[in-house]
Chains A and B, each alone.
Chain A
Amino acid sequence: MYPRYLAGPVSARRAYTDPISNAVVNTSVNPLAIWPDLAAGRLSPEFLNVVLHETTHYSSFLSPVGYVYGALMAAHTADPIGFIRDQDKVEGPARIAIQAEVISTYLTPLLEGLALFSEFDALPGPSPVASTVSSVASLLFCKERFVSLAKNGKAYSPYDVLKQFILTSRTREDAVNRKNALLGLSLASDDGYLLGYLWLKALWRVLIGRCRKLQDTDLFLSFVIDYFFYDYQLASLIFNWQDALRSNDDFEKYIEVIEYYIFGKRLEELVANVDEYVEQYEQYAVESRPGKIYISTESHIHPQYHNFSAEAEEEINIALAYASMRSRHVMWPQFSAGRHILRLFSTPAQVEIGKDGKFRANCEGGRDHIEGSAIELARPVSMERVVGQGSVEAVMLTDEMRVVMCVFLDKELIATMDVKSGKANDRRAVTACDRLASYLSLEAASEKISEELHFREGSRAEQTFLRLCSRAKAKSYEYFSNLGLGRDNGMEQVPQVLRVLDSGGVIRILEEYPGHAEWLARLSLSCGGRVSTFDEAAAHWGGSADDIEHWLSKINNIIGNLCGKEAFAVADNSFGLCQF
């Protein structure tokens, strides 16, 4: 039943993270084709950007705010009849649907800013806390190298190896092109990429002035995710289950409260107390391994900024239960069930289970295949042969930090195989992945949920939706650009410059200055999350240290004159703290 709801043909390339199921869908490479690399932990650097970016989304969504945000997106489908009836009252499911769109507008730049910071700036540093992102990347890209160094008696930590790997990969031409593409995006674009990225870089610059520990950009990344997404108060503000049933509160007032909370109170508290909060975070985070998905509230003391309370936790559980009501139907995948499992790479497959209980999954027209024994419970009761559309997906069980290949037929899991040992259907893997659904069925569910978000023309719901979404977009742009594009002297950015940025990003500003945009991208990557030297950059990009100084000076002059912002801090043959 699912393929007819897909966003496009089964074979089309997909690259996205679904906020409801927290499924990363990345079909840019067939996981069977890179099996040996996955097993050894030596993935090619060409996959680094996408893994860093998507794992950041994954870890942001795997949080109280992430869970509630996913629940909010699906909540209107729990009562489809109520949604239709609510179109003129806007106090139940229709209200919830509008709320989801507005919240999404506010969170999008933050989510994308974090993911892009992870791609272009984050580096493991001296903090004892390792983010989920760097832990995953270390295992996938650097494990083989680390083991080899350790065998030769070299005392490096896995994160030292990862740091070196990121530094090399981040300055590849592919990364430069990606950074160029980012800097050329419109500031006003709905994707929130550039707006969020510049905001996060500006926030980093503000916070390191008050907390030196945050010079460790991996710590900064994991702390900011924790600060915003593990806030139980924000979670309960975003979605209170009682609102899903009926709420007569003034909707406009509610939106103002959310705006004030995220962009006013929360941000002010962060800047005022960052030193103390980072201390609390480090103490809290080191108590569990990276990738740990459940931290018992009895044995842990939450940082003050989590605003944790047993009642708040209960509210979240009820919200989830309400929103996932529909997914308990036998025809729907349980899209909330596998949110903690990180999908890495997926590919569609023709899957067959034979009478003998053996399965075979053919990918890309049979060029690659995987076969073995199907899980006992996945076999048809009749013991007949079954054939159908399915998928093969490499997933990471983050609580064990191991990679498993999962095979699905329709939406059901039929087999697992550990990529390293080749062991099929081991109990822990099957138990962990049991309720996972194929990415194709999750996409179908996600499309169906979006389709059901339809307001009757001329209804009060439609008018409210249009008015509030338009307001949210303007406010979000205002709040994020105030910090992200504010001038170094504390003044707001001039409207003319914002208009240019809206039309073609930072690249448009440098359009009349040949070579500057390319060099801004290159040098910003050279000093991503650290201080670089003229000599180091010259050795990598070609030319001399004077060349690098020449470009830094020209870029700083032009951007300084136009935007009132220092693009790079330059001193003693070194440069860093790039604001773009």
Chain B
Amino acid sequence: MRLTTMEQTEFDNAEKAAECVSNALQHKLSDILPSGVPLSLLARDLITIWVKQIETIQPKRSRPAHIAGLRWVIRSDDLKLLDSILDGLKVSAGAGFFILGGLTPTGTVVAAAGLFASFLKLTFNAVSKGAVLCPRDYSVIATLFGQSTGMTNQDILDHLSNVESDWTLTEIDERLTKLSEIPCQSGKIAMVWKSFDARWRTAGI
């Protein structure tokens, strides 16, 4: 590990990078994660956000050496950003509402860590590109997340209303429209998309 500037730390080893992420987010994650999910699993999934290939040069007709060397460059700003996403999630979670709808009944512990990490990565990518999300946006994305068959607007409303009664179909419509074309620095990105069967799914960004 080496501190390359005042604001970023560079790791040449995945284990050490995961340890750094795990330490940085421990206090926040303990409130949000389903019980029993090991932090180390989550951190291992999350560090792919910061993985970079080590740049090498080679003569034109040589064979490049194996899959490039990797390093992890974690900016302190990135950890702060992740921290703020977790804050948003906490608020969206509300009293007794678990952010990943449908996860607890069907998912197992390791699956939960994987899903939660993917959810965080999706959100992190959007927010780091300039998207501005509020806690109720998080609630919508979290509800859709991991639902591979998608959900209709009514499904989402039914799900959210079980926890907070003030949701309406109009708000769901508006938020889904917003999330499908979020303004950001590089134009617009979609966190959710609607398939031909009128069901919504989360999108890769």
Contacts and interface: CB of A to CB of B under 8 A. Distances in A.
B14 A550 contact: no
Interface string B18-58: 10000000000000000000101100110110010111111
Contacts of B45: 515, 518
A546 B108 contact: yes
Given A12-B56, A18-B59, A19-B61, A178 B70 contact: yes
Contacts of A28: 54, 69
Interface string B156-176: 000000000000000000000
A53 B119 CA distance: 34
B111 to A, nearest CB: 6
B59 A13 contact: no
Contacts of B48: 177, 180, 518
A173 B17 CA distance: 10
A422 interface: no
B90 interface: no
Contacts of B51: 177
Given A28-B69, A49-B67, A551 B110 contact: yes
A225 interface: no
Given A14-B58, A173-B44, A515-B117, A181 B65 contact: no
B54 to A, nearest CB: 6
Interface string A549-572: 011000000000000000000000
Interface string A325-368: 00000000000000000000000000000000000000000000
Give chain B's interface residue range (CB within 8 Å of chain A). Answer: 35 or more
A14 B58 CA distance: 6
Nearest to B41: A542
Contacts of A9: 57
B59 A447 contact: yes
Contacts of B145: 514
Nearest to B150: A512
A446 B65 contact: no
B118 interface: yes
A16 B64 contact: yes
A537 to B, nearest CB: 10
Contacts of A193: 67
Contacts, number: 163
B65 A17 contact: yes
A547 B62 contact: no
B66 A50 contact: yes
Contacts of A13: 54-57, 69
Interface in B55-88: 55-70
Contacts of B47: 173
A54 interface: yes
Interface in B1-16: 12-15
A512 B14 contact: no
Contacts of B130: none
B148 interface: yes
Interface stretch (A111-119, A275-283, A403-411, A493-501): A111-119
A177 B110 contact: no
A391 to B, nearest CB: 15
B182 interface: no
A15 interface: yes
A172 interface: yes
Nearest to B106: A550
Contact of B108 (A12, A20, A518, A547): A547
Interface string B164-205: 000000000000000000000000000000000000010010
B74 to A, nearest CB: 14
B69 A15 contact: yes
A579 interface: no
B91 interface: no
Nearest to A193: B67
A515 B118 contact: yes
B135 interface: no
Contact of B13 (A46, A191, A543): A46
Contact of A547 (B53, B111, B201): B111
A7 interface: yes
A316 B191 CA distance: 59
B204 to A, nearest CB: 5
Contacts of A550: 108, 110-111
B114 A518 contact: yes
A434 to B, nearest CB: 24
Interface of A: 7-9, 12-20, 24-26, 28, 46, 49-50, 52-54, 57, 73, 104, 108, 111-112, 115-116, 119, 172-174, 176-182, 191, 193, 443, 446-447, 449-450, 511-515, 518-519, 541-544, 546-548, 550-551
Given A49-B67, A512-B204, 10 more contacts: A7-B60, A14-B56, A19-B62, A193-B67, A450-B61, A512-B201, A543-B108, A544-B110, A550-B111, A551-B111
Interface of B: 12-15, 18, 38, 40-41, 44-45, 47-48, 51, 53-70, 108-111, 113-115, 117-119, 145-146, 148, 201, 204
9 contacts: A7-B59, A7-B60, A13-B56, A16-B58, A50-B65, A116-B66, A443-B59, A446-B61, A542-B41
Closest 9 CB pairs of A and B: A515-B114, A543-B110, A514-B118, A173-B14, A15-B65, A8-B57, A53-B66, A547-B110, A16-B58
